[in-house]
Structure 1
Amino acid sequence: MCDTLNNDYHLHEELGRGRFGVVHRCYSPISSSSFACKSIAKRALSSDPTDRRCLDVEPKILRLLSACPHVLRLHAVYDNDDYLHLVTDLCDGGDLYDRLASGCRFSERDAAAVLRQLMSAVASCHRAGVAHRDIKPDNILFDSRGRLQLADFGSAEVFGGGATPPEMSGVVGTPYYVAPEVLLGGNYDEKVDVWSAGVILYMMLAGVPPFYGDGPAETFEAVVRERLRFPTKIFRSVSPEVKDLLRKMICRDVYRRFSADQVLRHPWMINGGETALKEE
């Protein structure tokens, strides 16, 4: 497609930037609606195929997931020699990172509301044969009505399509949130997304990640080696039901780790964060 972005949309203020692109608010005079435009400067990418794969992967996967709930919707793609522009829904309600960075501690009911929307998106992605592979608070956006939208599929991978179990490889993801099997090398499956979502649930309730260190290397070592803990000072008022769910999401045994659909069927999720049991 030729680059006619400026003919169709008017670019306005910058909304944010990441490793591969800059996001601006844009306006369509045809529809009288506002959108977001993610622009990736091709010359800024290294020659590493891992970096350049985002040019092909993200548009392809966003089109594949166009009908999935709580996944950022792609409206248009403009591609030329210098830039790739992706026009998507506008999420002007901020992101989960900002809410966590402000020191916000979520009630169980509020955490369940966020997790339900996130896992609905993840389960739909997995049923479509897509693993996100970089779920983190920065990529969890909210629109003006407070509805969650999962964004940034530049590290995503398509899996499945055969009778064998889905397998992926390659170290991708972000410290704090990446699953241990990704760091250990070899093949892994889509449950890496469930681990990442479990870490986010832990952070919403505790205000701190379950595994961390002084710098990425120490954080990765903690993810691989340390045991999941619930410090009494932080988790005294947290219910046994949500601790049970966390153990099943942040589970090193991939075969025992919950799938996205199993998370949605857990009693704590079904009850919307309302709990009936007392800590023994």
Structure 2
Amino acid sequence: MTEQTTRAHGAGSTDPLHGRVLDGRYRIEGLIARGGMARVYTAHDERLDRTVAVKVMRADLGDDEQFAARFVREARAAARLSHPNIVAVFDQGEDDGTVFLAMEYIPGRTLRDVIAAEAPLSPARALAVLEPVVSALAAAHRADIMHRDVKPENVLLADDGRVKVADFGLAKAISADTSHTATGILIGTVSYVAPELVVHGTGDARADVYAVGVILSELLTGRKPHQGESPIQVAYKHVHEDVPPPSRVVPSIPPYLDALVARATARDVTQRPADAGVLLRHLHLVQQALAAGVADDPDLTADLTPRVVSGTAELVGLEEIRERLVEEDDPLALPDLGEHTQRLAAMAPAAGATGSAVTAATAAVTVRPVGPIEPVAPLPPPRRRRRRGPLALFLAVLLAVAVGVGAWWFGYARYTSLPSVLDLTQAQATSKLQDAGFEVEIGTPVYSDDVAKGRVVSTDPDPGSRVLDGDTVTLVVSLGVEQYPVPKLAGLTLEAATKALTDTKLEVGLVTRAYSETVAEGEVISSDPAAGEQLRPGAAVDLVVSKGRRPIPVGDWVGKDADRAQKVLERRGLVVDRRTTVYSDTVPEGFVVSQSPTGGTLFRGETVNLTVSLGPELVEMPRVIGSGVEAAREKLEALGFKVEVQNSRAYIGLGYVLSSDPDAGQQVPKGSTVTLYLV
């Protein structure tokens, strides 16, 4: 789930990104939102001369290659979607360690702002606002992409009336190796989390449908349907309490709109629309009824109302929810509640068995026994010639009765109705059929989207068929939803990874190239979804393939400040192994005299040697006053000085040194000119 953003218009002058140009293209302007993982700025695209929104990953996370790879999933997921109600992602890049996404800029407000200012909304207005959101999710679900964080903050209403859904796929950018905890991630969106995410830690497109239903309830009533003193209590209510009908708060809401909310927010995931496309069709039916001014439509209400499922068991307690919110790093990977799901499984078959028994009893045919035949009153003795007539009639009646009884027995009475064992476990179904006097065979199992793994999908003969006692019934057991785990692809070549996916009935999706310090060129760095995640046949898996180690430019630092050179090189990931110093008459002190290597590129961790100037070498000026001019010259030239001789004002021709410039004891650059004044 995405980071909780805080609107913050304008960028403070202390923001280091303010005014910076990323990738030579995007000039950062105002800060519009900040969160635990990223900040969002307005920026000017200097190449296309337009305003965009730029999402910049937090600086201290930029060095984590795995995290950076997950961060760009939002770009890759959104790039696969083209829909007028989805915020478009234009570009993704990295600039000197700053990872960013360039997105469509939507000036306006969020649906949260609308709820705060205007809710409760009229039913027609609420559905008009929500219809483009559901349309966007339907397009995503058709592409096998879940949003995972549907909430009013992620629905943008532009000033020109457009409605856009943002942050597709960003939830998956949060990994277990970051500093984020579930407390900081899940709490912000717990009002819209589906029960199965709390109980099982997994969900599909129907989790997005649940969130839409909660938002619809909030639009109609002006308040969230489940509230509590803590996020843990709210999560508990999602699991154990139905979303109340909006008409409890606004009595004028039609019953079929209550039914739409109940259908979308059914705690039993099988009662919800299969995806946003199905929900969109339901929503259109309700919109048509509202537009026609229908106050009540019993048929529409009945069609939308979810079926009541008996045998509901408590699945998770407050303490277990608290553990999940505190201990888990990924809100979409909550720990499995094995004990509770087993308890539900143990209760459900009993309820199912009861229901099946009632069905079988209802379908059974009651056969009434044939009553005794009334005796026929004796007739007067007929004449002999008529004696064959009554006998023939009696035999005909007796034959008719025998044929009727035989037909009844062989055609109906000896048959029984096959009881239904659908949706029972294999063991429960076998036991029920054997108790009823049937033989049981197990047929070839099949995949099913509707029947849980290990439960009966169908029987041969079908339930309710007329069968003989002792007949053989073939059970077909569900393998569950047809899904395949993503194989481990990291470290494989692209060709090998493609084959591994094909062998697993999956496909290669978007292939992105990225530098890696640890993965060899041409090998897979990571996959999205990650290894082990279950996917439907034909689903696409995006791959990040290594371009090898990132070449780092050394640059030319001769004649430049050595301290700055070392700082920049180390920030780039290079190591300044040695700084030697030399005297130089031409390079100022503290500047680079030479470097090794002299340019080109290196890889992270490789070394650069710098030779730094100490400035010109200094020599102490010796005392030469009183010395003969030639002796003084010889002494100074031996020290590397140049000598110039001049007569002093007191010159009388003696040829001895009266004074010198510079004076004795001064530190003078070697090679400097010394002037001797003679007396």
Sort the TM-score into its range (normalised by shorter chain). Answer: 0.7 to 0.9
Q: Of the two, which has the highest radius of gyration?
A: 2
Question: What TM-score do you get using the length of structure 2 for normalisation?
Answer: 0.36
Pairing 1:30–2:20 present: no
CA distance in 2 between counterparts of 1:274 and 1:181 reads 37
The aligned counterpart of 2:286 is: 268
CA distance in 1 between counterparts of 2:63 and 2:257 reads 43
The aligned counterpart of 1:167 is: none
Q: Which amino acid in 1 is paired with 2:144? A: G
User: In structure 2, the residue corresponding to 1:14 is in which secondary structure?
Assistant: strand
Once the two structures are superposed, the pairs formed by residues 128-139 of structure 1 within 5 Å of their partners are 128-139=143-154
Contact 1:76-1:86 at 8 Å conserved across structures: yes
* Residue among 110, 119, 141 paired with 1:126: 141
Deviation (angstroms), 1:24: 1.0
Once the two structures are superposed, the pairs formed by residues 53-132 of structure 1 within 5 Å of their partners are 54-65=70-81, 67-80=82-95, 82-132=97-147
The aligned counterpart of 2:31 is: 14
Deviation (angstroms), 1:80: 4.2
CA RMSD of aligned residues (A): 2.9
Pairing 1:277–2:292 present: no
Deviation (angstroms), 1:273: 6.0
Deviation (angstroms), 1:246: 0.5
CA distance in 1 between counterparts of 2:52 and 2:119 reads 28
Q: Which stretch has the larger CA shift, 203-212 or 53-62?
A: 53-62
User: In structure 1, the residue corresponding to 2:270 is in which secondary structure?
Assistant: coil
Contact 1:90-1:143 at 8 Å conserved across structures: no
Deviation (angstroms), 1:250: 0.5
Contact 1:4-1:78 at 8 Å conserved across structures: no
CA distance in 1 between counterparts of 2:83 and 2:172 reads 15
Q: Which stretch has the larger CA shift, 254-263 or 115-124?
A: 254-263
The aligned counterpart of 2:57 is: 40
Q: What CA deviation, in whole Å up to 9, does each residue of 1:69-92 have, x standing for no partner?
A: 311101111224632211111111
CA distance in 1 between counterparts of 2:195 and 2:62 reads 28
Q: Which amino acid in 2 is paired with 1:27? A: H
CA distance in 2 between counterparts of 1:30 and 1:260 reads 37
5+ residue gaps in structure 2? 1-19, 174-181, 299-679
Deviation (angstroms), 1:233: 5.3
Q: Which amino acid in 2 is paired with 1:182? A: L
User: In structure 2, the residue corresponding to 1:118 is in which secondary structure?
Assistant: helix
Contact 1:79-1:85 at 8 Å conserved across structures: yes
Q: What CA deviation, in whole Å up to 9, does each residue of 1:9-42 have, x standing for no partner?
A: 2221111123321111112233332111111124
Q: What CA deviation, in whole Å up to 9, does each residue of 1:205-251 have, x standing for no partner?
A: 10111112111111111111112213655220112221111011001
Structure 1 pair 279–190 and aligned structure 2 pair: CA distance change class (3 A): closer
Aligned residues: 264
Structure 1 pair 57–75 and aligned structure 2 pair: CA distance change class (3 A): same
5+ residue gaps in structure 1? 158-169
CA distance in 2 between counterparts of 1:24 and 1:11 reads 7
Structure 1 pair 122–28 and aligned structure 2 pair: CA distance change class (3 A): same
Structure 1 pair 73–151 and aligned structure 2 pair: CA distance change class (3 A): same
User: In structure 2, the residue corresponding to 1:130 is in which secondary structure?
Assistant: coil
CA distance in 2 between counterparts of 1:202 and 1:145 reads 26
* Residue among 244, 253, 268 paired with 1:238: 253
Structure 1 pair 129–265 and aligned structure 2 pair: CA distance change class (3 A): same
Q: Which stretch has the larger CA shift, 91-100 or 37-46?
A: 37-46
User: In structure 2, the residue corresponding to 1:263 is in which secondary structure?
Assistant: helix
- By relative contact order (CA 8 Å, sep 6+), the higher-ranking structure is 1
Structure 1 pair 27–210 and aligned structure 2 pair: CA distance change class (3 A): same
Percent sequence identity is 27
Deviation (angstroms), 1:203: 0.5
Contact 2:242-2:267 at 8 Å conserved across structures: no
